[in-house]
Amino acid sequence: MSRQQIAALGDALARDDHARVAAILEEHASVNFAAFDDFDDDTGFHFDGVRDFRIDWN
């Protein structure tokens, strides 16, 4: 993740903004781990919700 994405994720987590957390993770997963060149409402991963995830800061 870029520094901007990490900062946005941290901010969203701090504010309990679960929709924003899911959106950040959807975009990151779509563009960085799948064969999608772009991310929008029609293209990429779209999660119903995020129940749990782990961040490894190594």
Give pTM, 2 decimals.
0.65
Q: How far is CA 2 from the centre of its chain?
A: 11
Q: Which residue has the higher pLDDT, 29 or 22?
A: 22
Q: According to the model, what pLDDT value does residue 23 have?
A: 86
Crossing angle between the packed helical segments 18-33 and 3-14, to the nearest 10 degrees: 160
Give the start-to-end residue ranges of the domains of the chain.
1-58
Using only C-alpha atoms, the chain has a radius of gyration, in whole angstroms, of 11
pLDDT tens-digit readout, 36-54: 666 667 666 666 666 776 7
Q: According to the model, what pLDDT value does residue 58 have?
A: 62
pLDDT tens-digit readout, 1-21: 788 988 999 899 899 998 888
Burial class (CB in 10 A: 0-12, 13-18, 19+), 4: exposed
